[in-house]
Structure 1
Amino acid sequence: SYKITYYSTVQHEVTNVHSGNHAAKVIPERNPASLHFIVFQNGNIETCLDFIKDHLMNAETKVIQATGEEHKVDEEDEMLCLIRGCNFVLRNIPNEAFVFANHPDSEFMFPKTCPDIFPYLLVNVGSGSSILKVESEDTFELLGGSLINGRTFWGLGKLLTQAKSFDELLQLASKGQCKNVDLLVKDIYDGSYLSYAENIIACSFGKSAITDQEFSKDDLAASLLHMISSHIGQLACLHAKLQNISRIYFGGLFISGHPSSKRSISNVITFLTKGDVQALFLRHEGYLTVIGASLRRTEDDIQHKGEVQRQSI
C-alpha cells in the first residue's frame, strides 16, 4: 500500500469585544497544525499520485520522501524512519499506546505515559518480521526476526480456508475456536499437568493428526492465528528477557487494524511473562514509517533554510 502523511492548519476568525467602547475586532487565528493520514492500495498508484499533485505539491516542493525498495524517489532508510516515527507518536500524541484488558467493562486501557520512553522493543510483523531494541532517538539495534510472520499466516490460511483476502481470513479466525483443532493439555493428561492448566494448548493443529473429522474454516483460521501469534510472542518475550526490557510495542501488516491478532499476541505475552512484560499497541501503528520520513523532510527543510540565512548574512 501507499501511505501519505501531511500536516495542515485551519484559519478561522475570532471576534474580540473591548469592554470599554464595546468595539468589536475580528482577528484571524490559526489552529495548531494537524497530522493527516491517507492510505492507497497497491492498485491505486495513479489515484495516489493525482492526490499528491492536486493537493500537496507547491512551488517549494522539490522532493518527495519515500521508504521501501520499489520507490524511485528520494529514498529514506526504512528502519530509521520506523523508529523515528514510533518515538514521535509516543512523545507527542496523548493516549497513543494501549494494552488489551482482561476486564468485562473495558476492551483496552491506556497506561500512564512514562516521560522516559527508552528502552523498548519494537516488533514489526508484516511480510517479514523484525525485533528492534530502541535505546534513544537514533540508536537502535536489530536483535532478530523470523521467517514465520504475517505473510506466513496469509499464505497458509489461504491454502487451508480458500479465503480471498487477509481481512476475510482474520474474520474467519475471530469466529472460530482453536481448541476444536488444537490438542490441549487435558487431551493428553486428562486434566492439568504440573504448572500447565488443562485448557492450555499443547500442540497446534494436534487433533488433525489423530482424527479424520472435517474442521471448520473458522476453527482452522483460529488455530493458525494462535500458532503464529504464539511464535511471535515467544520470540519477543525471549528478547525482552535477555535485554531486561518490560515494554514491547507491536506493529506491521499482521497487527495494523486487526484486533484479533492484537488480542492473541497480548494473551500470549501475558501468559508467558505472568504480566511482567507489557504488550502494547499503537493507534497510528500503520503510519510510523511515513511519519519518520516526513520528520526527515522537515529536518532537511530547517537545515536548508539555516544555510540560506547564513549565506545571506
Structure 2
Amino acid sequence: MAVNGDDVGLQPAPPMPWFGMDIGGTLVKLVYFEPSDGGAEQAETLERIQHYLKKHAAYGKTGKRDVHLQMDNVHVGGRQGTLHFIRFPTSEMSSFLELAKAKGMASLSSTICATGGGAHKFEADFHAQVGLGLHKFDEMDSLIRGIHYIESYNRKECYYYSSPMDRCVKMPYDFSDPYPYLVVNIGSGVSILSVRSPTLYKRVTGTSLGGGTFLGLCCLLTGCETFEEAIALAERGDSTRVDKLVRDIYGGDYPKFDLRADTVASSFGNMNCKEKRESTTREDLAKATLVTITNNIGSIARLRSGSRQHERTLPRLRWSPSPTTLGQ
C-alpha cells in the first residue's frame, strides 16, 4: 500500500503501539499507551518503563510529562487504557536515544511508530544507537486522523471562548458535523489545512512565523533557555509597553475603521524610543513576542477562512502555552 508515495507495505507491521512519536523541528512529542484492561502479562522491560514514566512528571532538565493532558479509558489496538503525553526539545534527541537504549526499549519491539520531519532525519540514529526501526506515517494524515480520534474520546478538547471581547468563558464546541473547517497547525512554523472530510484535505497556506519563532526570539531578547521559561515570562509581562497602539497614534479610538484604542498598530513599535526601551522588562518583551506571533497567525487564519467560506477554524497547538497566557 502506498501512502504519499511511500510503500509502507514493505515495512514490518508495527507491534502493539505502546509508544508513538511526533518528531518536530522544535519539540518531540511522545505518547505512551498504558493498558488497563488486564490483557496478556507484560514483559518485565515494559513494566520497568511504565514505572519510570509514571513515577516522574519531569525527565532530566528538559523532558516533561503533561499530566493535565492525560486521557483515560481510551481504546488503542483493541485494548483499553490511558494515554500519557511527554515532550522534550528536539535538540535533546541524543539524550533521549541514550535513555531509550538504557531502558531496553528495543526489547519490546523492533519498530516504533513515528511522524514528523524528524522521523526521516533521525531514522538512522534510532537504528544505529537503539536498534529500533521507525514505522513512518505522514504527519498531515496523522494530524487529521488524530484530531478526530481525540475528539471522539474527549469532547472537551474542542472548545471556543464565548464573549471574547469581555470575560471569556470556555465552551465545548459541537464537532459532530464540522465540515468544512480549517486546521491551523502551529508548530515550529504554521500550516493551514482546509478539511472537507475525514480523508479529504489540502494545505492552503502557512507562515514561517510560529512557535519556533516565538521561542527563538524570546531566547534572543530575554536570555531564557526553554519554552517554559519563555511562557512564564510572558504571563507576567505587559505587551503594551513594547507595542505601539492605536491610542499612541490617535490619542484614542479610530472609529472610522472601528479600531479600538488598545489595538496593536505596530508590533514592537515603541522600541525605537530609547526611554521606552530602558523601561521595558524581559517579561514585557516575551509577552509582546507572544502577542506578535499569535496576532499574525490569527490574521492569516481569519483571511483564509473568509476567502474559502470556512465557518469553523480549529487552532491546533504543537507547543502548549498555558490557557491563562493565551487568554490575556
**Could you state the TM-score of these two structures normalised by the residue count of structure 2?**
0.65
Instruction: Provide closer, same or farther for how the CA distance between residues 181 and 40 of structure 1 changes in structure 2, counting only shifts above 3 A.
Output: closer
Of 81, 99, 103 in structure 2, the residue corresponding to residue 47 of structure 1 is 99
1:98 Cα offset (Å): 2.0
Give yes or no for the alignment of 1:67 onto 2:115: yes
Cα pair distance change 1:5/1:138, threshold 3 Å? farther
In 2 relative to 1, CA 185–247 (structure 1 residues): closer, same or farther, beyond 3 Å?
Answer: same
1:189 to 247, 250, 258: 250
Q: 227, 243, 251: which is aligned to 2:292?
A: 227
Q: CA deviation at 1:180?
A: 1.1
Distance 1:118 1:262, change over 3 A: farther
What's 1:142 paired with? 203
| CA distance in 2: counterparts of 1:175 and 1:159, whole angstroms | 18
Q: Which residue of 1 aligns with 2:327?
A: 263
1:44 Cα offset (Å): 2.4
Q: Summarize the Cα distance change of 1:257–1:201 in structure 2 as closer, same or farther, 3 Å threshold.
A: closer
Q: Which moved more, 1:76-85 or 1:187-196?
A: 187-196
Which AA in structure 1 matches 2:98? E
Change (3 A) 1:38 1:119: same
8 Å CA contact retained: 2:239, 2:287: yes
What is the alpha-carbon distance in structure 2 between the residues aligned to residue 155 and residue 114 of structure 1? Answer: 34
| Residue 187 to residue 5, structure 1, CA distance change in 2 (3 Å) | same
**Would you say the 8 A contact 2:162–2:171 is kept in 1?**
no
Bigger shift: residues 244-253 or 39-48: 39-48
1:93 lines up with 2:154 in the alignment: yes
In structure 1, what is the equivalent of residue 266 of structure 2? 203
Deviation at 1:64, TM superposition (A): 2.5
Name which of 156, 164, 173 aligns with 2:234.
173
Cα offset, 1:257, TM superposition: 4.6
Q: In 2, Cα distance between the equivalents of 1:151 and 1:74? A: 26
1:9-20, aligned counterparts within 5 Å?
A: 9-11=36-38
CA distance in 1 between counterparts of 2:225 and 2:85 reads 24
State the alpha-carbon separation in 2 of the partners of residues 209 and 145 from structure 1.
Answer: 29
Whole-angstrom CA distance in 2 between matches of 1:220 and 1:74: 41
The one-character-per-residue Cα deviations of 1:176-235 (angstroms, maximum 9, x if unpaired) are 111111111111111211211212221111111134331111111111111111100001
Q: TM-score, normalised by structure 1?
A: 0.68
CA contact (8 A) 1:97 1:111 kept: yes
State the identity %: 29
Classify 1:71/1:83 alpha carbon distance in 2 versus 1 (closer, same or farther; 3 Å).
farther
Structure 2 counterpart of 1:301: none
The residue number in structure 1 matching 2:32 is: 5
Larger radius of gyration between Structure 1 and Structure 2: 1
Paired residues in the alignment total: 242
Q: Which amino acid aligns with 1:67?
A: T
What is the rounded CA distance, in whole Å, between the counterparts of 2:181 and 2:103 in structure 1? 36
Where do 5+ consecutive residues of structure 1 fail to align?
Answer: 13-29, 265-313
| Distance in 1 of aligned mates of 2:167 and 2:36 | 34
For the pair 1:161 / 2:222, whether they are aligned, the reply is yes
**Corresponding letter in the other structure for 1:167:** E
Distance 1:189 1:250, change over 3 A: same
Q: 1:251 to 1:261 in 2, by over 3 A?
A: farther
